[in-house]
């Protein structure tokens, strides 16, 4: 792929289609990040507190709050970084970070490590705002509504498939959903590294 294609707005239709598909999958995986752990995270938390349900419920609530707080604080941060350095590096680093985070949670030996994993997951999943910006960069105004509609479908699919898949895999091993999610995220990051062009030209960066 030429330097001009990487650094300029994506103009070729095949390249644009591949980029939109990648962003679609990225958003799908980001929502799976939340959905996959819904069935299995409570079991993991309980295993660290001697199956004390009340304590596990409080800790699980804290984990959810931490995840949402990281989304709230880091979405504008990652959005600003993408305005300055381009969309591509932020999206790819977030994907690689999400894959490593899943590995961390799969191997977590204690509640503290599991909590760190949820914090990192919230930060890396905050790249959704950058994904939206990427779509806006490469899509003509008259087609944005249709493309954003597909992105909305990715959100819905993630929340539908995530808990179902997490419950199925968690029935075999509570940590298995994290390993599967890590593999999917890492594969998606490698795919993006190979095919995802930059969408924001240098002269339009902050």
Residue pLDDT, tens place only, 52-84? 888 988 998 999 899 889 989 998 898 889 999
Check pLDDT > 50 for residue 6. Answer: no
Band of residue 3 on the pLDDT scale cut at 50, 70, 90: very low
pLDDT over 90, % of the chain: 22
Q: What are the tens digits of pLDDT across the range 178-193? A: 898 888 888 888 888 8
Whether residue 108 has pLDDT greater than 90: yes
Question: What is the residue range of 135's domain?
Answer: 13-196
Q: Which of 3-17, 32-46, 93-107 has the lowest mean pLDDT?
A: 3-17
Q: Find, among 45, 65, 69, the residue nearest to 57 by Cα.
A: 45
**Residue 172, domain member (yes or no):** yes
Flag whether 125 is in a domain.
yes
- State how many domains the chain has: 1
**Is residue 125 scored above 90 in pLDDT?**
no
The larger pLDDT score, comparing residue 104 to residue 129, is at 104
Residue 128 confidence (pLDDT) above 90: no
35 belongs to a structural domain? yes
Query: What is the pLDDT at residue 168?
Result: 92
46 CB contacts (<8 Å, ≥6 apart)?
52, 53, 56
Is residue 153 domain-resident?
A: yes
**Average pLDDT estimate for 157-174:** 90
Residue 206 in any domain: the answer is no
> By the 8 A CB rule, do 29 and 36 touch?
no
Q: What's the mean pLDDT in 19-29? A: 82
Asked if residue 202 belongs to a domain, the reply is: no
What's the burial of 189, exposed, middle or buried (CB within 10 Å: 0-12/13-18/19+)?
A: buried
Distance CA 87, CA 205 (A): 10
Report how far residue 75's alpha carbon sits from residue 77's, in angstroms, rounded to the nearest whole number.
5
Task: Answer yes or no: are the C-beta atoms of 176 and 103 closer than 8 Å.
Answer: no
Say what percent of the chain tops pLDDT 70. Answer: 92
Residue 8 falls within a domain, yes or no?
A: no
Tell me if 25 is assigned to some domain.
yes
Give the pTM: 0.81
pLDDT at 189: 86
Confidence class of residue 13 from pLDDT cuts 50, 70 and 90? low
CATH number where 35 lies: 1.20.1250.20
pLDDT (0 to 100) of residue 15: 66
Which of 82, 89, 80 is CA-nearest to residue 192? 89
Show the tokens assigned to 196: 């995802």
| pLDDT of 199 over the 90 cut | no
DSSP structural state of residue 110: S
């Amino acid at each position: 792929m030429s330097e001009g294609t990487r650094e300029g707005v994506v103009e070729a239709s095949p390249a644009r289609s591949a980029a939109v598909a990648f962003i679609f999958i990225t958003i799908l995986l980001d929502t799976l990040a939340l959905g996959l752990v819904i069935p299995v995270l409570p079991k993991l938390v309980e295993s660290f507190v001697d199956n004390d349900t009340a304590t596990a419920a409080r800790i699980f609530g804290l984990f959810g709050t931490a995840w949402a707080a990281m989304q709230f604080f880091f979405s504008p941060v990652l959005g600003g970084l993408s305005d300055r350095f381009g969309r591509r590096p932020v999206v790819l680093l977030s994907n690689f970070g999400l894959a490593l985070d899943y590995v961390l949670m799969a191997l977590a030996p204690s509640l503290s490590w599991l909590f760190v994993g949820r914090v990192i997951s919230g930060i890396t999943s905050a790249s959704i705002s950058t994904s939206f910006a990427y779509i806006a960069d490469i899509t003509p105004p008259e087609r944005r509504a249709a493309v954003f509609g597909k992105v909305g479908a990715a959100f819905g699919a993630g929340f539908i498939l995530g808990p179902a898949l997490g419950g199925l895999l968690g029935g075999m091993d509570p940590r298995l959903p994290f390993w599967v999610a890590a593999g999917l995220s890492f594969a998606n990051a490698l795919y993006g590294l190979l095919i995802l062009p930059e969408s924001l030209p240098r002269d339009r960066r902050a």
